[in-house]
Amino acid sequence: MPVTLLIMVSLAYAFATLGAFVVEAFQRRRGTYRSSLLAFQAQANVGGDDLELWIMRRLEWLRIVSRSAPRLGLVATMIPMGPALLALTSNDASAVGANLAVAFSSVILDLVSASIRSLS
């Protein structure tokens, strides 16, 4: 359950990031986009190193979520496989199917989440 919750949070974050990307693209197309980087530079009157640090801070969560997504997908696959294999040894096909459904649906959600984050 905790891994599935983390995958759902990751998916929500991916959709939020995609939404921000679409809004920015729409604003750029209309010519109404105001760069937060330029606003920060004008407000704080900082140099290149400070701007780079500001950018790194803004991208940190995206980097963390992008790197942890494959691990979450692997964990979400492996956890239900144990009970599925045990159910297979006792010829309980319904339990095997239920456990595999959880495993594969979690992995698909994680792959969708990772794909959306790579777009934005």
Domains of the chain, residue spans: 2-35+68-119
Length of the chain: 120
Q: Enter the tokens of residue 60.
A: 């940190």
Angstrom distances, CA of residue 96 to CA of 2, 45, 86, 92, 103: 21, 61, 8, 6, 11
Q: Report the alpha-carbon distance of residue 9 to residue 2 in Å, rounded.
A: 11
**If 0-12 CB within 10 Å is exposed, 13-18 middle and 19+ buried, where does residue 39 land?**
exposed
Q: Which of 8-17, 46-55, 109-118 has the lowest mean pLDDT?
A: 109-118
Q: Enter the tokens of residue 93.
A: 């096909």
pTM: 0.69
Q: Report the alpha-carbon distance of residue 27 to residue 52 in Å, rounded.
A: 24
Residues 37-85 pLDDT 10s: 888 888 888 888 888 998 899 888 888 887 887 788 888 888 888 888 8
